[in-house]
Amino acid sequence: MEKVKSKNGKLLIKLVAILFAFSALSASAKTPYEFSVYGGGGYSFYSCRVSNQTVLIPHSDVYHSAVNGVSSSGSSGDLGVGFTGFIAPQVGLHVGLGFGLYNTNIKVDSLTFVTKDLYDELNENRPYDLYTKLSEYSEKHQTFCFSIPFMFQFQTMQSGSSWRRSTSDIGFYAKAGLKLNILLSNTYETKVSTAYKAAHYTDLDNWAETQAFVGLGPSKIKGGKGNFGYVQTLFALEAGAKMHIGDNRFFYVGAYFDYGLNDPSKNNRELINESSLEGSLPLLEFSNRINLMTIGLKLRLAFQ
């Protein structure tokens, strides 16, 4: 964890230096600019590409999906300051620095994993496949981060600035670019309702699932906690109205959409196995891809 914090600090220093350099270049070029404060919030969830692996249902010849019923929901918000330097009356470059907060839950109705080609040392080394089914698996993610947007801003002409081309007090704007989340605290908590294990002896075509003394049948698993990752990159899109509310003052009201381009938890996920069942439950690998998505409203007060 200390190593992660060290990386966070070095990266943050570099990014802040870039922001100051950008501001200095804009000021030296004497181009119009805006300083702003902003806040926003909305709904967050995960886009998951679930594996299409299938497994055999015990006591039958029927196969079904190994992962069933994936859903997610949560809330997010951010608060910060921004700087926009205009390179043309309708085009600007926006950078910012703020704090972001994400609370998102993942729920999976059932997960089934198969460990093949095992041998029963207590039963003449007979070969068997071990089937493990987890019911009502869930993850709770809580993320607190520095949020640093790098975006292009496009806007219609309007009054109230040194770039005046219109008498309208209301214009429209759109922003697009990238957002870096430097994760200051990114924790998870995993839970599962029940685990069920069954052994299929392949040479006998026989199922064993009532021998509790060797761990077969239903059982309870202790939930787990931990943290992961330190940088998250998102594609950011924002659009709405820009209103002139006074001398060189503007008020933005817009909707935003962020799409995560990487999954900080990817390297921490693992397939279920005996070792993970014996301790606290880790993050499980149930999807080939997990991307954070957020939608919401954002308010911004800008000064020239």
How far apart CA 29 and CA 189 sit, in angstroms, is 50
Mean pLDDT on 75-100: 91
How far apart CA 141 and CA 76 sit, in angstroms, is 11
Mean pLDDT on 169-188: 92
Most trustworthy range by pLDDT among 32-36, 65-69, 143-147: 143-147
Task: Give the global pTM.
Answer: 0.82
pLDDT at 57: 77
C-beta of residue 173 within 8 angstroms of C-beta of residue 191: no
Q: Residue 237 contacts by C-beta under 8 Å, 6 or more apart in sequence?
A: 174, 175, 176, 256, 257, 258
Percentage of the chain surpassing pLDDT 70? 86
Q: Look at residues 210, 295, 238 and name the one whose alpha carbon lies nearest to residue 84.
A: 238
Q: Residue 91 contacts by C-beta under 8 Å, 6 or more apart in sequence?
A: 152, 153, 154
Q: Look at residues 101, 56, 57 and name the one whose alpha carbon lies nearest to residue 78.
A: 101
Q: Residue 112 contacts by C-beta under 8 Å, 6 or more apart in sequence?
A: 55, 64, 66, 67, 131, 132, 133, 134
Query: If you count DSSP H runs as helices and E runs as strands, how many of each does the chain have, helices first?
Result: 2, 14
pLDDT at 162: 44
Question: Other C-beta atoms within 10 Å of 81: how many?
Answer: 14
Q: Is 90 exceeded by the pLDDT of residue 274?
A: no
How far apart CA 138 and CA 109 sit, in angstroms, is 9
Mean pLDDT on 129-144: 92
pLDDT range class, residue 168, cuts 50, 70, 90: low
C-beta of residue 186 within 8 angstroms of C-beta of residue 264: yes
More confident call, 1 vs 8? 8
How far apart CA 175 and CA 234 sit, in angstroms, is 14
How far apart CA 266 and CA 283 sit, in angstroms, is 9
C-beta of residue 107 within 8 angstroms of C-beta of residue 136: yes
Instruction: Take residue 128 and report the two structure tokens written for it.
Output: 């068997």
pLDDT range class, residue 160, cuts 50, 70, 90: low
Percentage of the chain surpassing pLDDT 90? 43
Mean pLDDT on 284-293: 91
Q: Is 80 exceeded by the pLDDT of residue 269?
A: yes
Q: Give the model confidence (pLDDT) of 185-224 as tens digits.
A: 999 999 999 888 888 888 887 888 877 767 788 888 888 9
C-beta of residue 244 within 8 angstroms of C-beta of residue 287: no
Mean pLDDT on 124-128: 82
Bridge partners, residue 55, by sequence: 64
Mean pLDDT on 238-252: 90
3-state SS class at 9: helix
Q: Look at residues 145, 150, 133, 141 and name the one whose alpha carbon lies nearest to residue 5.
A: 145
Instruction: Take residue 200 and report the two structure tokens written for it.
Output: 């299929």
